């Protein structure tokens, strides 16, 4: 296995662990990790929708807000955002405007919606579709590790 794929898989595992932490705190099970061009972890972002009482407090959006405060555009352009689940349209927009150059995700939005098929909050528009309309390219890789990423969602979206 080549080094890039090994690194991607390892960092996706880390994003899934962040998603579990979010779930353990009573939030939706989503997590993200930002790494620099050398694979060093710069930031992690948890979903805080429930604890912050903010429907826009998705893991990727939280991470992007923090990243933009700490790093310049040239640094972010060389970064990769790892997401436990495919970024939603809002988060894809945030990623685009932040200047982050690469996204790798574990669970596809299609697979996520299998957990909550009747949710009124579905906005089925993949991040590739959103990002392809931007004025600069953002590399998108995924889904990868869907079986592992599915586990953090098991039982969360079902009514009690």
Q: What is the pLDDT of residue 61?
A: 98
d(CA 76, CA 129): 21
Place of tokens 């972010």: 76
Confidence class for position 159, pLDDT limits 50, 70, 90? low
Alpha-carbon distances of 79 from 34, 82, 115, 154, rounded to whole Å: 7, 10, 30, 30
The helix (run of H) or strand (run of E) holding residue 128 is helix 127-131
Nearest to 55 by CA among 106, 120, 107: 120
Asked if 148 is an active-site residue, the reply is no
Place of tokens 């912050």: 52
d(CA 107, CA 84): 6
User: What tokens were used for 99?
Assistant: 């200047």
The answer to whether 15 and 32 have CB atoms below 8 angstroms apart is yes
Q: What is the pLDDT of residue 24?
A: 98
Q: Which of 44, 46, 60, 109 is catalytic?
A: 60
Q: What is the pLDDT of residues 87-138, one digit of tens each?
A: 999 999 999 999 999 999 999 999 998 877 777 778 889 999 999 999 999 9
Q: What is the pLDDT of residues 144-153, one digit of tens each?
A: 999 999 999 9
Is the confidence at residue 160, as pLDDT, over 60? Answer: no
Q: What's the whole-model pTM score? A: 0.95
Nearest to 66 by CA among 44, 83, 89, 97: 44
The answer to whether 61 and 91 have CB atoms below 8 angstroms apart is yes
Is the confidence at residue 4, as pLDDT, over 90? Answer: no
């Amino acid at each position: 296995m080549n080094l890039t794929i090994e690194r991607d898989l390892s960092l996706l595992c880390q994003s899934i662990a962040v998603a579990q932490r979010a779930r353990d705190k009573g939030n939706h099970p989503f997590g993200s990790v930002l790494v620099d061009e050398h694979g060093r972890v710069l930031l992690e972002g948890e979903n805080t929708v429930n604890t912050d009482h903010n429907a826009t407090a998705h893991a990727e959006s939280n991470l992007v807000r923090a990243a933009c405060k700490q790093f310049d555009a040239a640094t972010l352009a060389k970064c990769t955002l790892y997401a436990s689940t495919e970024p939603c349209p809002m988060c894809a927009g945030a990623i685009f405007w932040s200047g982050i150059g690469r996204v790798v995700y574990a669970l596809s939005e299609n697979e996520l919606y299998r957990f909550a098929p009747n949710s009124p909050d579905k906005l089925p528009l993949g991040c590739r579709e959103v990002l392809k309309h931007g004025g600069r390219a953002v590399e998108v890789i995924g889904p990868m590790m869907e079986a592992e990423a599915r586990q953090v969602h098991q039982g969360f979206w079902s009514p009690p």
